[in-house]
Amino acid sequence: MKHIIKTLLPILILSSNIAANQVLNWPQWRGPFMNGSYINSNTPVDLREESDNLKWKIELNGSGHSSPIIFEDKIFILSAKETGKLLPDSVDKPSKKDLNIAARLTNNSQIVTRKMQYLVSAMDRNNGEILWQKVAKEKIPPQLIHGKASWCSSSPVTDGQYLIALFGSAGLYCYDLEGNLIWEKDFGNLNIYWSFGEGASPTIFDNKVILNWDHEGQSFITALDITTGKEIWRTNKEERTSWSTPIVVNVNGQSVIVTSADNFSRGFDLETGKLLWEVKGLSTNTIPTPISYKDDVIVASGLYAEIIQSINLKTAMDKEESENAVSWKKKGNGPYTPSILLHKDRIYTLKGNKGIISCLNPNSGEIIYGPERLPSIKEVFASPVAANKYIYVVGRRGNVVILDSGSKFKVVAQTKLNDNFDASPAIYQNQIFLKGHKYLYCFES
């Protein structure tokens, strides 16, 4: 079974015609298809802490917006925490520029007074027991971060043999699934716009680790050999900070990496890093991960202008027709921090960071329902997920709303957990995992 799953993982993003009973794991940010959907599941609707569906709940060591991933009986999470003695006066303090930026932000920015310890953890999926925990790095973060951000926001990814953990300015790390360090890489410090914090996650495809490094310095995308960490290629980009995770799609038999950002959504050849196409149209501060649907890729951004855009990949690859590559575009209900959910030939999108949801036809952008206000949820950072019958939306204050996954807006259940949430849920068969600031919850039907 391990060999079968490992063989399947590299093709999940390229194909949507995989037998549902073969897709078992949640090996990366946004799940097996990189779209938030898990098909073969019967997850519970009663997510109350006093419910019989609560299989276990454990307290976390460290915190961060990083979302959990699952491979067979292991859950992998990343976290960060301050450790050690107070920093002495001899240690460099934040620059005047950083302090001025902090003063301009609506919410107080965070600053550390000790070294930050970056942790990689593996837990038993059946009981939450910690199997191993490694300190990847201890480092003083180079910047302040926004009061709503975290020091650990990238999610890990695995192909079933290797586990890739990105801590941005604190480095990229490769472990085996037993916690042995295979290699590590330091790409220097990310200079994040307005100290908003780091966030894009790495992607694995065809024995390559794909890393999108968009910041206020020289931005680039690179592919590394997963077995050695050796850089295969690097392509520079003229791009400012973005937080969007790359995906890999198939276009006319060619594997293409798709990224979305403020200046352009782009396609790069997987083997060489050559820029194949670029399309404008998003607004600033691009965060949502692209999703693949048929011959298109759907991208979004939601600060100032809430935009959803569907790009036809075959047209984008045609230099003479690339200016006509946008199949459809919608303004007004695009997400800011949460990514779009694709489930059963429908897309579900939140409006900005608000508890307002819409359901759209991915072929045309036509509204199926919405915008509809979710009861009790005001602000959302976590991306919605779906399992067969249900859609799960988790608010920042612990309110959880479960919707019917049909074509009509219908609230099936709602509850409130005693924690705050920014990480996105993960699903494995009949289990759903919710990672809060303090606890990791496992609910099972």
As a whole number of angstroms, the distance between CA 117 and CA 245 comes to 24
The residue extents of the domains of the chain are 43-61+340-445
Asked whether residue 386 carries a pLDDT value surpassing 60, the answer given is: yes
Asked whether residue 10 carries a pLDDT value surpassing 50, the answer given is: no
For the chain, give the secondary structure using H, E and C: CHHHHHHHHHHCCCCCCCCHHHCCCECCCCCCCCCCEECCCCCCCCCCCCCCCEEEEEECCCECCCCCEEECCEEEEEEEEEECCCCCCCCCCCCHHHHHHHHHCCCCCECCCCEEEEEEEEEECCCCCEEEEEEEEEECCCCCECCCCCCCCCCCEECCCEEEEECHHHCEEEEECCCCEEEEECCCCCCCHHHCCCCCCCEEECCEEEEEECCCCCEEEEEEECCCCCEEEEEEECCCCCCCCCEEEEECCEEEEEECCCCCEEEEECCCCCEEEEECCCCCCCCCCCEEECCEEEEEECCCCCEEEEEEHHHHHCCCCHHHCEEEEEECCCECCCCCEEECCEEEEECECECEEEEECCCCCCEEEEEEECCCCCECCCCCEEECCEEEEECCCCEEEEEECCCCCCEEEEEECCCCECCCCEEECCEEEEEECCEEEEEEC
What global pTM score does this model have?
0.93
- Give pLDDT, residue 379: 98
Sign of CA dihedral 15, 20, 24, 28: positive
Nearest to 71 by CA among 127, 122, 147: 122
Average pLDDT over residues 336-363: 98
Nearest to 308 by CA among 355, 353, 364, 356: 364
Which residue is it, tokens 């759907």?
A: 298
Asked whether residue 4 carries a pLDDT value surpassing 60, the answer given is: no
Amino acid at 106: T
Sign of CA dihedral 39, 40, 41, 42: positive
Average pLDDT over residues 357-386: 98
As a whole number of angstroms, the distance between CA 20 and CA 39 comes to 6
Q: Check: CB of residue 151 under 8 Å from CB of residue 82.
A: no
Domain 43-61+340-445 has CATH 2.130.10.10: yes
Q: Quickly state the pLDDT bin for 90 (edges 50, 70, 90).
A: low
- Give pLDDT, residue 6: 41
Asked whether residue 87 carries a pLDDT value surpassing 90, the answer given is: no
As a whole number of angstroms, the distance between CA 392 and CA 295 comes to 27
Asked whether residue 39 carries a pLDDT value surpassing 70, the answer given is: yes
- Give pLDDT, residue 95: 61
Asked whether residue 38 carries a pLDDT value surpassing 60, the answer given is: yes
Q: Check: CB of residue 330 under 8 Å from CB of residue 307.
A: yes
What the block records as the tokens of 59 is: 């307290």
